[in-house]
Structure formats: structure tokens, C-alpha cells
Amino acid sequence: MDLMNRIRTFVRERPDIVKRALVVVTLALIGVPAILWYMRSVDEKAYILFTNGYYYYRNQSHDQAQGSLSQLMSLYPNSKYTSMGLYYLALVNLARGNAEESSNQFKQFMDRYGNHYLRERVYPLWMAVELNLNRPESALSLVDRYFSEFDRLSPSAAEVLYRKGVALELLGRQEDSKKEYEESYTVSEERRTKVGDKDGSLFGTFAFFAKSTQS
């Protein structure tokens, strides 16, 4: 109790010192998190922005996802998470209906990351965006690029061939389109039987029905 009385007396008699002490403590409480953030490595900061953007995208919070991923691209363009950030930023813009931005970002991804494991998946997505923008010639130009990197039993081959059929149909080349739909279905069936890919038959099924409507 003696100690508490001394503290109360000190506070009453020296309020200026107490106020200064409170200011110092408050600044410390505010400043410590800022200092800790500053001391994080570039990769740690980039990782935080990427994971935030990724989970916002997964939760369909597209505004927040775009904010986090755009920050990642702007602040840490050379981090090891930037490639994935660019990929998901393109998906965010695709989900938001910003097809032109999405197309540009897929192009940047393909230009920058020649050996990235997501290249195989980006091709059909990029084709879908180009078709959405009513640019079938551009979509067709990606087909040869795809098959220069991947074989006909790769996971996205049936989808690429299906989208090639759609592009040809948009150009009025019905017979050529039908052949690509047939090839897409054939490739999906080969993949299903040879590597057991049941999900890969989805675009083969789309192609089968698309071909049926042309008969």
C-alpha cells in the first residue's frame, strides 16, 4: 500500500512527467508494429500480400484481391511470389469482367515466365479471354504455341482444341471447326483411357455436343 500511495503522490505532484511517459509508451506501441513490418524481408512482405490476395480471390472478394495483388506487383516486382500474383491478378480481372486487363496480364505472364509450371494452364484461359473479346484469330495463334510446348495428352490439350473449334466457328469455318471438336473429343478419350483423367473429359464432352449441333 505504501508503494501505491507513493505512486499516487508522484502522479499528483509531477503530472508533466507522467504525460510525457504516456506519450512515449503510446508511440512505442504504435511504432513497434511498424518497425517489425519494416524489418521483415522482401519475400515475407510479398508472401503476405500474395496470400491475402489469393484468399480474397478464393472468397470472391475481388476488390480486396485486386488491391493486394496489385500492391504485390507494384512493390515487389522481382519477388518469388510475383509470378503467382500476376496469374491470380489475371483471374481476378477475368472474374470482374475486365477481359482486356486479364488478357494483358496473361500475356505478361507468358512473356516473363518461360518455364513456369502454370504455362500449360494459362494457354486455354488466355484463349477463352480472347474469344470473349471476339478475337478468334488471336485465340487461334495460341494453339500452335501451346502444342510447341506440350503434347496432345497434356491436361489442357482437349480444352485448347475445343477453344480452337469455337474460334474457327466464329470465323465461319464450320468444317474445320467440326474437325477440331472431333479431335478434342478424341484427345479427351485417349487421356481418360491412358492416364485415367476423368476430369479431363469435360471439354471433350463440350466438343462432342458442339459437333452434334453442327451435324
Per-residue model confidence (pLDDT) at position 113: 95
Q: How far is Cα 85 from Cα 77, in angstroms, rounded to an integer?
A: 10
**CA dist 12 to 15, 19, 26, 59, 157, Å?**
6, 11, 21, 54, 80
Q: What is the pLDDT of residues 102-113, one digit of tens each?
A: 999 999 999 999
The pTM for the full model equals 0.76
Q: What is the pLDDT of residues 4-23, one digit of tens each?
A: 555 555 445 556 654 554 54
Cβ(67)–Cβ(93) below 8 Å: no
The position carrying cell 510525457 is: 20
Nearest to 131 by CA among 105, 83, 169: 169
Q: What is the pLDDT of residues 139-154, one digit of tens each?
A: 999 999 999 999 988 9
- Type of residue found at 45: K
Q: How confident is the model at residue 32 (pLDDT cuts 50, 70, 90)?
A: very low
The CATH code belonging to domain 121-215 is 1.25.40.10
Per-residue model confidence (pLDDT) at position 96: 95
Q: Where in the chain is the domain with CATH 1.25.40.10?
A: 41-116, 121-215
pLDDT over threshold 50, residue 134: yes
Per-residue model confidence (pLDDT) at position 211: 53
Q: What is the pLDDT of residues 164-181, one digit of tens each?
A: 999 999 999 999 999 999
To the nearest 5 percent, what fractions of the chain are helix, strand and coil? 80, 0, 20
113: three-class secondary structure by DSSP: coil
Cβ(84)–Cβ(47) below 8 Å: no
Exposure letters 132-151 (e unless 16+ CB within 10 A, then b): eeebbebbbebbeebeeebe
For domain 41-116, the question of CATH label 2.60.40.10 is answered with: no
Q: How many CB atoms lie within 10 A of CB 16?
A: 7
Q: What is the pLDDT of residues 51-88, one digit of tens each?
A: 999 999 999 999 999 999 999 999 999 999 999 999 99
Per-residue model confidence (pLDDT) at position 40: 58
Per-residue model confidence (pLDDT) at position 137: 97
Per-residue model confidence (pLDDT) at position 27: 43
Q: How far is Cα 153 from Cα 150, in angstroms, rounded to an integer?
A: 8
Q: How confident is the model at residue 189 (pLDDT cuts 50, 70, 90)?
A: confident
The position carrying cell 489442357 is: 156
pLDDT over threshold 70, residue 138: yes
Q: How far is Cα 129 from Cα 95, in angstroms, rounded to an integer?
A: 11
Cβ(76)–Cβ(42) below 8 Å: yes
Grid cell locating 69: 495483388
Q: How confident is the model at residue 42 (pLDDT cuts 50, 70, 90)?
A: confident
